Amino acid sequence: MSEKGTHVKPITLHVDFCISSGACVLECPEVFALGDDGVVSQIDPQPADDLLPKIRQAAAVCPVSVIEVADD
Ligand code: SF4
């Protein structure tokens, strides 16, 4: 199951800890957004493989480590 164009590793959002900084949205708006309640959500449930670097960068900049991306 590693065909080109398949979706990336599962993403887990520990939303209870989101402080609504918006940093992840700036890094990867294709996948992350803030809702009206100010809490992050994953707007693309099956992002393309080529977004993985941006997703990992979003996880890296989150000040409270809300975004967890499964390892290879
Ligand atoms: S970077 Fe982290 S704390 Fe900021 S909005 Fe995204 S998930 Fe929430």
Separation of 6 CA from ligand 1 center, angstroms? 25
Token pair for 42: 């994953």
- Binding-site residues, ligand 1, Cβ < 6 A: 18-24, 34, 40, 62-64, 66-67
Q: At residue 65, does pLDDT exceed 90?
A: yes
- pTM for this model (two decimals): 0.89
Q: Cα 9–10–11 angle (5° rounding)?
A: 115
Say yes or no: domain 11-69 is CATH 3.30.70.20.
yes
CA of 13, closest atom in ligand 1: 7
Domain segments of the chain as ranges: 11-69
Pick from 16, 24, 25 the residue to mutate for probing ligand 1's pocket: most ligand atoms within 8 Å of its CB.
24
Q: How do residues 13-64 score in pLDDT, each as one tens digit?
A: 999 999 999 999 999 999 999 999 999 999 999 999 999 999 999 999 999 9
d(CA 14, CA 60): 14
Q: At residue 2, does pLDDT exceed 50?
A: no
